[in-house]
Amino acid sequence: MRPVDPRLLKYAASARAFFVAGGLLAVLQTAAVVGFAYLVTQLIVQAIDGAPLSSLVPLLVALAVVVAVRFVVNWIADVNAARGAAVVKSELRQRVVGAVSALGPGWLGGRSATAVGVTVGPGLDLLDTYFSKYLPQLILTAVATPVIVVVIWWQDWISGLTIALTLPLIPVFMILIGWATRAVQQRQWEKLSRLSTAFLDVVGGLSTLKIYGRQERQSARIRAVTEDYRGQTMKVLRVSFLSGFALELAASLSVALVAVSIGIRLIEGGLGLGVGLFVLLLAPEAFLPIRNVGAQFHAAADGVAASTEVFEILDAGAGVGASAAAVTGAGAGAVTGAAERLSASVAVAGSASGDGLVLDGLVLDGLGVRYGDDVVLSGLHARFEAGAVTAVTGPSGSGKSSLVAALVGFVPADGRILVDGVDASGAPAPRGWIAWAGQRSTLVSGSVLGNVALGDDAPDASLARESLDLAGAVDVDLAVAIDARGEGLSGGQAQRVASSRAVYRARRLDCRVVVFDEPTSALDAETEQAFIRCLRALADEGRVVVVVSHRRPVIAAADAVLALAGASALHVRAGRS
């Protein structure tokens, strides 16, 4: 494990201010340590020489000032560490949320949402120890240790040589023990993620488990995972105690060598009392910062392990952004001759002519989506007219969800997406020209109003009410409190609330395109007809309305149909059946 991951400075700009302030404070701390040792030495030597009290008063006052300065500097260092931890955690969390948004549901679907939540939540909280104890000692070691060694060498080269030869033993012990610590610490973090995931899964499915009488077996499972985590934690503690003992032993023996050497030379008369006492007071201070680094290494390891996972998420998000930029740059000049590849006789697959394209509606010009080596969509050309409802259908795996994800900006895509002739391919998510309701009825804890107007700092209750009514949720009260799982609403009501969110956004922000992904899968026939009227109302307002559906009534009511059939094949129908 590296003492400081360079990505910390890359993704958390506030960390740079923390290091600069920490370096300045370390210089002041080092000066206070040297000044304290010098003043104490002078007081003792002069007192032994029989100096009057009046001549010692200035030294006593200076010593009191140095002690006060040292206390204040240490307090400021603690404040800097606490503030640095809070600001960096906040900055990293904001960046992670942005990275997860850029990576999209496809990326998150391949991972444990609970594990990501543990990493971003409790995991980043562990950076408190990393910033408050480990990094300040690391900075102090980099500043104070070489300065104190130089001062000691200047006063007594034999003691300086002894410290210079024995000091590297502590980093050697730290490295050897650190290899073992990294392995057990990583296993502990993995077991914590497993425990969190298992517990959340059990809580989420507790009602189902009780129905089938399986709740008792899950208690044994949680107990086993907890015991496994407890055992791994004890292994980490054993390694931590071993590390502390080894570092204390090495430092104590090194200081003892210096003390014995000074004592022998004082008896022989080869060394003055002032120099010997000054060096003896400074010798432990040369080892103290690096000893503290080793002692805090284990306490900070959890936070470092969590931050490593956070940086991996941020790296992945940055990669998506770079890919999207590359796709956008290539798409503007590479997509030509699209008119020859489109069927001009079909409304949904209208004409396109490359860079000079100016059309009213949404145009896909050579759209392609791939996940690694898997091509989901390739060379898709289609036009969705404004004022019309277009149904997108096809078998599972034909690319319907990937098409929606590309429109919303959740996945990087080849080709171009044009809205009223303007290339919107490179726009980051969220895209202001599109309102979208996903296949899953994702809700947040709070009121129905808060869910319908999600993201609106000043929710419009009347518009939210209209949106609910239009989506067929006349029976849902805006004041009803729900949780993230939709408790308090039926499955159909939750789906209609999620759909009304897209209606609200479309009208609130005047979005040009509105997309619904399987909006009627949990609705009865009567409510489905009400939602079809909602689609028609949005289209009559001059918007592009796209609905992904397998439901025959929805497909039959559409003005045009885009039937996907794999990575490159598609079938289109214009007009209603």
pTM above 0.75, yes or no: no
Is the per-residue pLDDT at 288 higher than 60? yes
* CB of 531 closer than 8 Å to CB of 361: no
* Of the listed ranges 84-88, 98-102, 158-162, 182-186, the one predicted with least confidence: 182-186
Q: Give the per-residue SS3 of 42-71.
A: HHHHHHHCCCCHHHHHHHHHHHHHHHHHHH
Q: How confident is the model at residue 64 (pLDDT cuts 50, 70, 90)?
A: very high
CA distance 361 to 339: 16
Q: How far is CA 180 from CA 173, 240, 250, in A?
A: 11, 10, 19
Q: Where are the domains of the chain?
A: 6-318, 341-574
Residue 500 confidence (pLDDT): 93
Torsion angle defined by CA atoms of residues 18, 21, 25 and 28, in that order, rounded to the nearest 10 degrees: 160
The answer to which of 145-159, 480-494, 538-552 has the lowest mean pLDDT is 480-494
Mean pLDDT score of the chain: 78
Identify the CA nearest to 554 among candidates 506, 514, 520, 515: 520
Does 341 have pLDDT greater than 60?
Answer: no
Name which residue leads in pLDDT, 343 or 282.
282
The pLDDT tens digits of the residues spanning 188-222 come to: 666 666 677 667 667 667 667 666 676 667 777 77
pLDDT tens per residue, range 35-62:
998 889 888 888 888 888 888 888 899 9
Range with the poorest average pLDDT among 43-52, 171-180, 243-252: 171-180
Higher pLDDT, 246 or 365: 365
| The architecture CATH gives domain 341-574 | 3-Layer(aba) Sandwich (3.40)
CA dihedral 25, 27, 28, 31 (to 10 degrees): 160
Q: Are 115 and 197 in contact (CB under 8 A)?
A: yes
Alpha-carbon span 428 to 408, nearest angstrom: 9
CA distance 42 to 56: 9
What one-character-per-residue DSSP string does 162-177 give? Answer: HHHHHTTHHHHHHHHH
At residue 504, does pLDDT exceed 90?
Answer: yes
Q: Provide the CATH number for the domain formed by 6-318 in this structure.
A: 1.20.1560.10
Helix (H), strand (E) at residue 436? strand 434-437
- Whether the CB-CB separation of 467 and 503 falls below 8 Å is answered with yes
What is the distance between the alpha carbons of residues 199 and 204, in angstroms, rounded to a whole number?
A: 9
Residues paired with residue 437 on neighbouring β-strands, in sequence order:
516
Distance, in Å, from the CA atom of 508 to the CA atom of 69, rounded to the nearest integer, reads: 58
Q: Report the pLDDT averaged over residues 321-347.
A: 36
Residue with the larger pLDDT of the pair 338 and 318: 318
- Banded pLDDT at 534 (limits 50, 70, 90): very high
